[in-house]
């Protein structure tokens, strides 16, 4: 299941090579929430790490992400790890649409009826 959220890039961290075969890059999104501002840290992994290269701190973006969580045991106590795994970033424009070309209205309204008498429905 994926989620979308829009906010301002508050912090962008350097890429971290965790192991020979795994790399990640984290960033923090500033999200207005009524009277309080929320700060959520997201993670990009592997080939998605370079998605941040085209953005700067302070820029409005839309983030598409998956929510994942896992339990782990430390010193006999079960703890839970939650991750916001981003997989798409798009620049947010002032109109509220996210990335891509703005939607345009159809040239002519679609017709949902027929004037043919043979096409009359019985209800």
C-alpha 16/C-alpha 6 separation (Å) is: 25
Is residue 101 a part of any domain in this protein? no
DSSP 8-state assignment for residue 92: B
Does 70 or 94 have the greater pLDDT score? 70
Q: Say whether pTM exceeds 0.75.
A: no
Domain total in the chain: 1
In a domain, 44, yes or no: yes
Write phi, then psi, for 117 (nearest 5 degrees).
-65, -30
* Domain-embedded: residue 20: yes
SS3 label, residue 102? coil
Q: Is residue 65 part of a domain?
A: yes
Task: Point out which residues pair with 113 in neighbouring strands.
Answer: none
Task: With respect to residue 11, please indicate whether it lies within any of the assigned structural domains.
Answer: yes
Is the residue at 15 inside a domain?
A: yes
Q: Tell me, what CATH number does 36's domain have?
A: 2.40.50.140
Q: What is the mean pLDDT of residues 20-35?
A: 94
Do residues 7 and 55 make contact, with C-beta atoms less than 8 angstroms apart? no
Ramachandran region, residue 54 (left: φ > 0; alpha: ψ -120 to 50; beta: rest): alpha
9 belongs to a structural domain = yes
Domain that holds residue 25: 2-96
Read off the tokens for 52: 């941040």
pLDDT band at 26 (very low <50, low <70, confident <90, very high): very high
Domain annotation covers residue 104: no
Higher pLDDT residue, 103 or 32?
Answer: 32
**Distance (Å, whole) CA 119 – CA 113:** 9
Give CA–CA dist 63/31, Å, rounded.
11
């Amino acid at each position: 299941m994926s989620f979308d959220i829009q906010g301002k890039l508050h912090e962008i961290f350097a890429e971290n090579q965790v192991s020979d075969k795994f790399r990640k890059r984290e960033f923090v999104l500033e999200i207005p929430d009524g009277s309080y501002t929320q700060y959520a840290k997201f993670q990009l992994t592997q080939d998605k790490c370079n998605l941040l290269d085209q953005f700067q701190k302070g820029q409005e973006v839309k983030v598409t992400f998956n929510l994942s969580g896992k339990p782990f045991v430390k010193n006999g106590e079960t703890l839970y790890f939650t991750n916001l795994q981003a997989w798409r970033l798009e620049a947010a424009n002032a109109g509220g649409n996210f990335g891509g070309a703005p939607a345009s209205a159809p040239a002519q309204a679609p017709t949902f009826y027929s004037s043919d008498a043979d096409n009359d429905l019985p209800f």
